[in-house]
Structure 1
């Protein structure tokens, strides 16, 4: 204790000065806790009434906490360094550090607000009728906002550190040229990500696949370098963006309609009933509320190269009269489509049985000639 008192006397540090530093410390902690408690209650009170203005207010939580700590550190450092007469260190290190800390607060604010705004926009734009959800514009605006925020941060940091912008741009250009030669694949993937954001061939949530079939799944995330694709067996593929812009990619989620294509076979015994069954099925599809009447609907005999099970057959098959049902549903949602298709096929089966006809199954007729046949033991 005596050594500590001697240390304070040597630097002419009074008790009142130490009390001031302690007060600044505890006030800073109290303000940080108050901000945290206020925003916690504010978020609970507004969780069911989010607007863009409320999202911005909620985004102030972390930046205000960080700014409070930075400003409190600034005033404590100002007093402590004054005791030890480290004014040059304060001006050269502490002041730029505090400015960088406040700039970081701005970056955290913008990044948090952009993330909340993206989530809010996706939730608001999500369709509930089974139609296609196009979130490409939301992704573009989010990435553009991030790019602008980073650009502003670079210029602010350069100004704080006293760097000349023109000289920094020249050095940056030379450095980027070297980096481009060393990491050309990575750079091409980054530019591929930029092209994806500009052209929007797919967005998060889309089901895509390449023409060669090597990549297929649902897009979970599009970063600057990689596209995260979740396959249907729940595996995650991290695909470089340059691979997806150099080959044809099919976006199955952006189909306008889903097609029903089913092949059905009738018994040869029901040949005379086929035209009536065909007419009733066509009428049924024409009146169905889930069938898009602006698209082509066919109930016709199949051609001579249709794969009917294990054989290639036409209308007059090996054991059935084959016809096809070709139509399009209004919905594109896979689950809803499956339910509609199931109902339609069951109703078509009922139409067939209503005409006292039956759906054929593979049969074989054995024709045995009676000429020259030996008599059976019973006949003898």
Structure 2
């Protein structure tokens, strides 16, 4: 009778511990979630992040500890278990591993939530917070948490950390040779995060290749870009260690560089055209005034060449096109007001004059570059001495 009472007492005690643990975990999770919802993520960045990250892991931690306590009660009041039983030897290490896993889960959730809160606060206060740097710090923090947790789990399971590190040092050489591309991509990702040659949202160009696009995501192995055709493509991070990168977004001005050709017959109008063109650039609101050039640069094989070199104030592509269009049209108007004409490639054809025939006339109505030729005589005059 006493043995039956002891057995039922142990069963009831274990059941009560498990039930209380489940109920306490659920209540605590709901309380923390409600408290986190009351806190504003922008005004309470850290507190909101910790409470939001702790709700589910704390519930799981209470469950793990409750079940571990129930198992301990079974060992103490359920009789002496066999010395080699799994419950006697595995309860402690399994409990420690689960506790470490739950703490790791909490820290990872908290890091993600705090990172999101910091970015939201920067946007709310209209401050610039580099999302690439924030993402890099978050990834490094999470990697440190995971590596530390794994080492603690292995130590809890009875592995020697010193021996593991020594084995890792020897095996690292073999792994490095076997995974050179992976290691190179990881180092390339670290280089991007450290030097920040570009960040998410910027447009980059890799010279010597057809790779250009907007940066959407910077990962540990590859960087995702989106091209002009709205198709994403992935660039291995190792390429950024060996290839130059042009950051198109960080340009300070856009360049206008054009060659304008006028006729040789308008050589006397060149000084006036150049002077009025410089005055136009000097007064134009869309042109950067600290440096520009408009000069008579060379005498080409078919025309006189005027070179225009200037920078726009705005880097927006639509503004740049509007300014360039306005400047070119006004320069064309200046040329026209000086009585000159713009021209393109032309060619001269020398037509021999036949004996007894008038010169071949040119008829402009016949079309550009075409001549209306007089009809050929029915027979050519005899060649003397033939």
Give the structure-1-normalised TM-score: 0.72
Deviations 1:169-206 (A, max 9, x none): 11221232221122122122222323333343333333
Deviations 1:197-255 (A, max 9, x none): 33433333333333322322222222222122222222222222223322333333333
SS of structure 2 residue aligned to 1:227: strand
Question: d(CA) in 1 for partners of 2:61 and 2:208?
Answer: 55
Q: 2:192 is matched with which residue?
A: 196
Deviations 1:99-158 (A, max 9, x none): 33123312332344345546766887877xxxxx97665555445444444454445445
Which of the numbers 250, 253, 258 marks the counterpart of 1:254? Answer: 250
Distance 1:126 1:262, change over 3 A: farther
Which of the numbers 17, 29, 32 marks the counterpart of 2:29? Answer: 32
Instruction: Summarize the alignment of residues 289-300 of structure 1 with structure 2, pairs less than 5 Å apart.
Output: 289-295=285-291, 297-300=292-295
Instruction: Summarize the alignment of residues 1-380 of structure 1 with structure 2, pairs less than 5 Å apart.
Output: 11-13=8-10, 18-19=15-16, 21-42=18-39, 46=40, 50=42, 53-54=44-45, 57-79=48-70, 82-83=73-74, 85=78, 89-114=90-115, 116-117=117-118, 137-138=133-134, 141-266=137-262, 272-295=268-291, 297-303=292-298, 314=300, 316-317=302-303, 321-349=304-332, 351-352=334-335, 371=358
Question: d(CA) in 2 for partners of 1:353 and 1:134?
Answer: 51
Distance 1:336 1:145, change over 3 A: farther
SS of structure 2 residue aligned to 1:328: strand
How many pairs align?
346
Give the structure-2-normalised TM-score: 0.71
Relative contact order (alpha carbons < 8 A, sep ≥ 6): 1 or 2 greater? 1
Question: d(CA) in 2 for partners of 1:178 and 1:331?
Answer: 53
SS of structure 2 residue aligned to 1:220: strand
SS of structure 2 residue aligned to 1:60: helix
Instruction: Say if 1:122 and 1:138, in contact at 8 Å, map to a contact too.
Output: no
Deviation at residue 259 of structure 1 after TM alignment: 0.8
Instruction: Say if 2:270 and 2:296, in contact at 8 Å, map to a contact too.
Output: no
Question: d(CA) in 2 for partners of 1:272 and 1:372?
Answer: 31
Moved more, 118-127 or 327-336: 118-127
Question: d(CA) in 2 for partners of 1:166 and 1:20?
Answer: 38
Question: d(CA) in 1 for partners of 2:32 and 2:160?
Answer: 37
Computing the radius of gyration over CA atoms, which structure comes out larger, 1 or 2? 2
Superposition CA RMSD, Å: 4.1
Question: d(CA) in 1 for partners of 2:142 and 2:64?
Answer: 29
Moved more, 61-70 or 77-86: 77-86
Deviation at residue 326 of structure 1 after TM alignment: 0.8
Deviation at residue 277 of structure 1 after TM alignment: 3.3
Deviation at residue 20 of structure 1 after TM alignment: 5.3
**Structure 2 regions of 5+ residues with no counterpart?**
79-86, 361-372, 376-386
Question: d(CA) in 2 for partners of 1:361 and 1:39?
Answer: 72
Instruction: Say if 2:197 and 2:247, in contact at 8 Å, map to a contact too.
Output: yes
